[in-house]
Amino acid sequence: MFCTLGETSTLRPPPSPSARPEVLINLSLLLTFPGPDGEKTWPKKYPFCGGVFQSPIDFHNDILQYDTTLLPLELVGYNVSSTDHFMLTNNGHSVRMSLFPTMHIRNLPFQYTATQLHLHWGNRNKPEGSEHTVSGRHFAAELHIVHYNSDKYPDVTAAIDKSDGLAVLAILIEIGPFNPSYEKIFSHFQNVKYKDQIALVPGFDIQELLPDQLDEYYRYEGSLTTPPCYPSVLWTVFRHPVKVSQEQLLALETALYCTQPNDPTPLEMVNNFRHIQEFDERLVSVSFRQGNFIPATVCSAGGHCLCKKTKIHACLKMLCQFLQVAHTIAMTKGKIFQFYVMHLYSQFHSFILYSFPHLWFFYTDKRDRTTFLFLNRKLRL
């Protein structure tokens, strides 16, 4: 038998040793897959799981826009001495490795501090376990490196439900040659075979787990991919996948169990990925050029809109008309105006954020999906 996403019901966290408690922020209670019926039942107990800004998503050309302001990520403190040790834990739904608080990401709106990494995968018969997809294509697995906003919050527990609380680096994994860097984690799977088991992993450079090109990625605002699905994650999904061997992937797919060693009916840990979520025609910023992306600027000074023919042409046309009216009012009154929009659908959220950073400041109330927009007349257009 095997367990999949949604089939682990025990919420008990793994034991926490006394060493380095500040690093062992426990997310297992928040990231456990509850109930026997899988993710379709999540919204009943966790309303955010049925809300907006959910992850993962599919990256396809119709929602991608090139953004020249996106910078290569700067990773600080990722190279950890082999005399220090990471803690690897089987928490019943994934294998998770705690990270040191000396690890940071820069070139984001805030400084984000690392807390843990974990993996998502499929099964030996269908090795398509990535959470994010590209043009409908699943990859074999996906690695997530979780960070919290340490400029604003004292720890990940305080940050996890805040709209700017988390930043996750996602690495897509596909089959290729043997990967010695991933083996530094995979070689310990036999020591964490069952739920609540823990192993120590000698320190190494975590950046080795990432693709070489850190300047090419997808960027969007989304959510945790497990309950309670808080829309609190700034996602960076790297464009280029990392390769592991067929044997390494098989070890990931077959070595781990959701159950404890003495359980009479052991359940194999497989298919621990969430399915693709609706994206409501929001836009994803990308740091690279490819194909016919939606332009980053579709409204010029004076309110003359340059809507392109895409699948969201009607959406763009409506937004352009709104912008023209707003611009005219602002030019007439000559001061900052506040516009309250009762039914501006959620697909406008990322469009306004990324397409008009020089023009708009906005706040979205994710509970009732209303949006406040502010047009600053004093800014040069």
Contact (CB, 8 A) for 268 and 254: yes
DSSP 334-353: -S-EEEEETT--TTHHHHHH
- Give Cα separations from 219 to 194, 207, 236, 283 (angstroms): 35, 19, 5, 9
Q: What letter does residue 87 receive in the DSSP assignment?
A: E
Instruction: Please determine, for residue 92, whether its predicted confidence score (pLDDT) is greater than 50.
Output: yes
Mean pLDDT value across the chain: 78
The candidate with the shortest Cα–Cα distance to 86, out of 181, 168, 199, is 199
- The count of C-alpha atoms lying within 13 angstroms of the C-alpha of 259, restricted to the half-sphere facing its C-beta, is 12
What global pTM score does this model have?
0.73
At residue 309 the predicted structure's pLDDT band, cuts being 50, 70 and 90, is very low
99-137: pLDDT as tens digits:
999 999 999 999 999 999 999 999 999 999 999 999 999
Rounded-to-10 torsion of CA 326, 332, 336, 338: -40
At residue 282 the predicted structure's pLDDT band, cuts being 50, 70 and 90, is confident
Domains of the chain, by residue range, sit at 39-286, 309-352
Residues 6 or more apart in contact with residue 372 via CB below 8 angstroms: 338, 339, 340, 341, 362, 363, 364, 365
- The pLDDT score that the predictor gives to residue 281 is 63
Residue 257 pairs in a beta bridge with 268
Task: Look up residue 285 and give its two tokens.
Answer: 């910023």
Give me the percent of the chain exceeding a pLDDT of 90.
63
Whether 358 is catalytic: no
Query: What are residue 321's phi and psi, to 5 degrees?
Result: -60, -40
Higher pLDDT, 233 or 290: 233
The average pLDDT across 36-47 equals 84
Residues 6 or more apart in contact with residue 63 via CB below 8 angstroms: 279, 281, 282, 283, 284, 294
The average pLDDT across 28-46 equals 65
At residue 359 the predicted structure's pLDDT band, cuts being 50, 70 and 90, is very low
176-191: pLDDT as tens digits:
999 999 999 999 999 9
Strands 95-98 and 64-66: unpaired
The b-or-e profile of 347-373 (16+ CB within 10 A means b, else e) is: bbbbbbbbbbeebbebebebeeeebeb
C-alpha span between 124 and 292 (Å, rounded)? 36
Fold of 39-286: Carbonic Anhydrase II (3.10.200)
- The pLDDT score that the predictor gives to residue 328 is 53
Give me the percent of the chain exceeding a pLDDT of 70.
66
Overall size of the chain counted in residues: 381
Which entry of 85, 93, 147, 313 is annotated as an active-site residue? 93
The candidate with the shortest Cα–Cα distance to 57, out of 283, 278, 236, 346, is 278
In the chain, the DSSP E strands lie at 2-3, 58-59, 64-66, 74-76, 85-90, 95-98, 104-106, 112-121, 133-134, 141-149, 166-175, 198-202, 217-222, 233-238, 242-244, 268-269, 284-286, 337-341, 360-365, 370-375
Residue 246 CA, chain-centre distance (Å), reads 26
Residue showing tokens 């007439």: 332
At residue 1 the predicted structure's pLDDT band, cuts being 50, 70 and 90, is low
The helix or strand, by DSSP H or E, that contains position 327, with its residue range, turns out to be helix 313-333
